[in-house]
Amino acid sequence: MSDRLEKPGYPLNPFSRAEGLWSLAEDFLKMPTTYKNFIDGEWVESSSGKTFPNINPANTDEVIGYFQQSNVEDTRRAIEAAVRAQEKWAKIPAPKRGAILYKAAQMVANRVDELGEILTREEGKTIGEGKAEVLRASQILSFFGGEGDRFLGDAVPSPRENVFVFTMRKPLGTVSLITPWNFPIAIPAWKIAPALVSGNTVIFKPASLAPLTSLKLVEILHEAGLPKGVLNYITGPGSTVGLEMVTNKAIKGVSFTGSCAVGQGIYQHTQQNMVRTQLEMGGKNPTIVLADANLEEAVNITINGAFFSTGQRCTATSRVIVEEPILDKFTQLLIEKTKALKVGNGLDPSVQMGPLVDETQLKTVLSYIEIGKKEGATLLLGGNRLTGKEYDKGYFVEPTIFKDVKPTMRIAQEEIFGPVLAIMPAKNFDEALEIANNVQFGLSASLCTTNLSRTFEYANRIEAGVVNVNLPSAGVDYHVPFGGMKDSSSGHREQGRVAIDFYTELKTVYIKY
Ligand code: NDP
């Protein structure tokens, strides 16, 4: 500070000097905060001495904060703290563990506006989506708070005389939770809450692109009464911190959400150590529109699925499969309504689609648009990075629609994770289902129809873990199972009561009396 005041030419009269101090104070207040890891109940710096920035994707001039670039040593410290805390935490009765989650749920709900804004600034989704996600995190904490009261086992009759049989749940121990950037508070909440209520202690690593909203969640859980060491938060590269979290011998369970490539790599390690592993990964989700559907509703459903959250949802619609008799009408209305979408900084409440999360994601999306063109699909709408005025400061891309997309094309097979939609014609319901299932993924799907028989037929035959009818492929409730089939998932469901299954061991107890 004094350096700046003593610079030659810097005004020295008392009034101007006071102004200089004021402007320095202003600069200081605007400086981004450096956030720390939370290990063993304390906020601590990484032993690396390094940090990395968290940047607003709608305005890259804004550094939201700096985060610890942690290393293997920090990760081991966090794991050791979690292991030390586990036995004591598991001894606390489940209803009391749940009460802490319940209190945290209220605290999150009370801060929806503030946390929603942080979420939008770090991830880019619209402020409406940001606040809705924060509210979702609160609902999840509240639901699992209630699971502390239930924490069910079975009591069953034995075929043997005077033998009583029951099952009881025990925690796994210390678990590693690794999350992506696209739902930076809901996904951490839906992993942390069932892990904790089950009596596990946690080491949690958020995605490097959006670590602040979940830091606030950890702060709140601590304030709600979690004992030290029970929940440890650590930031840093997946390739070092994440790798240690999945290979360390003290870890008894790994829950990961993210890309297929990383998930499959994690599985190689955890399989070797026979560690229980939950993987939720990519999708290539279809919306099927049958000729009997309500056309306007089907278009709205498709737009919501494909473009909201900038298409950066694992459950986003990336293929719309339309019965031929209504193909032209549907396409026309889809283009008309998509053109009207307002793209911009998600903090502006009138904006309907925010930016992509970073430059890598932008390049990936633009490269898939080029691939689509080269493969012979017809670009009907969009296809470009948005430029000029505020767009120059962010990673904005136009909502993009291709038609004449063949099932074998890469844009019909691979996850793009952006606002790019492929229209695919189908002769009839059976062909639509065949196209829908003809991908490696099986996360979510949607069907637009007014036909009850086809609804049930589709529910039976569609290869997806999340099955919607007359609703967008994206958007789920918080109290029912969530997860994919095929390469989208390792099969252990998250959310709802079944989430507890992953985080617990069942003991079967036989008592002769
Ligand atoms: P990534 O797979 O790149 O990263 C996910 C997390 O894994 C991040 O925290 C990342 O850390 C970490 N990580 C990276 N490398 C390793 C490693 N070698 N070992 C351990 N951890 C590692 O995914 P994205 O964050 O880009 O998220 C987008 C993906 O997530 C999409 O494919 C999407 O479909 C999927 N997703 C799936 C959902 C589902 O429920 N099925 C829900 C939401 C998203 P870092 O950030 O530091 O690289």
DSSP string, 150-187: H----EEE-SSTTEEEEEEEEE-SEEEEE--SSSTTHH
Does residue 52 lie within any of the structural domains? no
Distance from Cα 208 to the centre of ligand 1, integer Å: 10
Does residue 72 lie within any of the structural domains? yes
Q: Looking at residue 155, what is its pLDDT?
A: 93
Q: Looking at residue 8, what is its pLDDT?
A: 33
Q: Looking at residue 151, what is its pLDDT?
A: 79
Inter-helix orientation angle 127-150/112-123, to 10°? 120
Q: Classify 294 as helix, strand or coil.
A: coil
Low-confidence ranges of the chain (pLDDT < 70): 1-30
Distance from Cα 258 to the centre of ligand 1, integer Å: 3
460 and 322 in one domain? Answer: yes
> Residue 481: CB within 6 Å of ligand 1?
no
Q: Looking at residue 31, what is its pLDDT?
A: 87
Distance from Cα 299 to the centre of ligand 1, integer Å: 30
Q: In what order do the strands lie in the sheet with 51-55?
A: 33-34, 63-68, 51-55
Does residue 5 lie within any of the structural domains? no
> Residue 265: CB within 6 Å of ligand 1?
yes
As for how many domains the chain has, the answer is 2
Q: Looking at residue 429, what is its pLDDT?
A: 98
429 and 347 in one domain? Answer: yes
Q: Looking at residue 14, what is its pLDDT?
A: 46
pTM above 0.85, yes or no: yes
Q: Looking at residue 255, what is its pLDDT?
A: 98
Name 282's Cβ contacts closer than 8 Å, sequence gap at least 6.
Answer: 259, 260, 314, 415, 417, 441, 443, 487, 488
240 and 339 in one domain? Answer: no
330 and 251 in one domain? Answer: no
C-alpha–C-alpha distance, residues 430 and 307, integer Å: 27
Q: Which domain holds residue 225?
A: 33-44+66-281+491-510
Q: Which atom of ligand 1 is nearest to the CA of 489?
A: 41
> Residue 443: CB within 6 Å of ligand 1?
yes
Q: Looking at residue 101, what is its pLDDT?
A: 98
